[in-house]
Structure 1
Amino acid sequence: MNESANQSVDAVRARLEQTLDAIDEKLDVKKQASELTERVKSSYEENPVPWIIGATAAAVVVVGLVAWAIFSDD
């Protein structure tokens, strides 16, 4: 094999290695969960109001569903 072919093969191998590293990073569930947790914490620290409203709305929905299940005639 000549030198330009070797360089071409080396370049392809380097790109393949980068691609595999990127895939590995995307499929690392623990790392993705950690990054998501950090984004959520940061978002809450910047502006907690939407999170509080969302949690309140979710609680109201749950209480409503429980009340409906208990008091419905079905």
Structure 2
Amino acid sequence: MADDIEAKVAAARAELADTLDAIEDKLNVPKRVNELTERAKASYERNPLPWIIGAVGAAIAVAGVVAWAILSDDD
């Protein structure tokens, strides 16, 4: 009976340790950033065209906002 309880306690501790490890892994921001960076690099290497189009679109949007801010007649 005592051995059964000790086995259950040991199993619960092991499960708790696994859960805490999984939580720690999910909350590890530098690791997640590295994973995202690697995925983005791989995506760009497979097909750079969408990345280039997105960058050009963002540059046009920024230029448009800057031009609007400079040329708008707020006075």
Alignment TM class, shorter chain as reference = over 0.9
Q: Distance in 1 between matches of 2:48 and 2:17?
A: 41
Deviations 1:24-70 (A, max 9, x none): 11111111111111011011111111111111110000000000000
Q: How far is 1:23 from its partner?
A: 0.8
* Partner residue, 2:2: 2
Moved over 2 A (4+): none
* Partner residue, 1:54: 54
- AA aligned to 2:24 is D
In structure 2, list runs of 5 or more residues that go unmatched: none
TM-score by length of 1: 0.93
- Percent same amino acid at aligned positions? 59
* Partner residue, 2:20: 20
CA RMSD of aligned residues (A): 1.1
* Partner residue, 1:42: 42
Moved more, 60-69 or 47-56: 47-56
- AA aligned to 2:52 is I
In structure 1, list runs of 5 or more residues that go unmatched: none
